[in-house]
Chains A and B, each alone.
Chain A
Amino acid sequence: NAGVTQTPKFRVLKTGQSMTLLCAQDMNHEYMYWYRQDPGMGLRLIHYSVGEGTTAKGEVPDGYNVSRLKKQNFLLGLESAAPSQTSVYFCASSYYQKGPTSRETQYFGPGTRLLVL
């Protein structure tokens, strides 16, 4: 049981290049999330998904796109990287708890460190 995995671990891009970050989870979780972590700002939600084939915007979605073609995978794409997207990216997943009071813990991957020059 690997939990949540992310690839790659580290990447350097030039401004304008594109790339895709892959997140995979083997816990059969319905919900998946992409966050970015920046100094002094904590974690901010980029996009999330409540199930296969669905995605939604989070707090800071601009410049990113996502896809959830399979339940276990959640891809984050940067179409044209900018230096402002230099950050550490974390994927997370959680169970779906039916009803209005979802209180489930999120499980995080180890992160992808991205440097955009």
Chain B
Amino acid sequence: GNSVTQMEGPVTLSEEAFLTINCTYTATGYPSLFWYVQYPGEGLQLLLKATKADDKGSNKGFEATYRKETTSFHLEKGSVQVSDSAVYFCALTLSNSGGYQKVTFGIGTKLQVIP
């Protein structure tokens, strides 16, 4: 079956530090890859996505590149802010024959940024 692997954390960084959250996946077929972010007390919201190999998704200073050869989609940001403190979920999507998109989520990585 399909799966997404990411560390649970928490990852604690000082403001302006470089961030990497690793995400690797296994999938049958050619998935689209997503990073969702969940701020405290809120639902998940899309941060960025990539739909094919070598695509780079980017948003709010975050980037991730779809690496088919290493089945990875690592999230990076050059300089984190306190406001980036949240839980980050890596996810993949594949369609079944009925057109329904099944999303497989990782367990989520909690990021804490301290001033």
Chain A interface residues (CB < 8 Å from chain B): 4, 31, 40-43, 45, 48, 50, 56, 90, 92, 94, 96-111
Contact = CB atoms under 8 A, between A and B. Distances in A.
B98 A106 contact: no
A107 B108 CA distance: 17
23 contacts: A40-B8, A42-B106, A42-B107, A42-B108, A43-B44, A45-B103, A48-B100, A50-B98, A50-B100, A90-B44, A92-B43, A96-B99, A97-B99, A100-B97, A100-B99, A101-B95, A102-B99, A103-B51, A104-B101, A106-B103, A108-B36, A108-B43, A108-B44
Nearest to B99: A102
A55 B76 CA distance: 38
B45 interface: yes
A105 B100 contact: no
B73 interface: no
Nearest to A9: B41
Contacts, number: 64
B100 A111 contact: no
B27 interface: no
Nearest to A50: B100
A31 B43 CA distance: 17
Nearest to B102: A45
Interface of B: 8, 32, 34, 36, 41-46, 49, 51, 89, 93, 95, 97-103, 105-108
Contacts of A4: 43
A66 to B, nearest CB: 14
B38 to A, nearest CB: 8
Given A40-B107, A43-B89, A103-B32, A31 B95 contact: no
A43 B99 contact: no
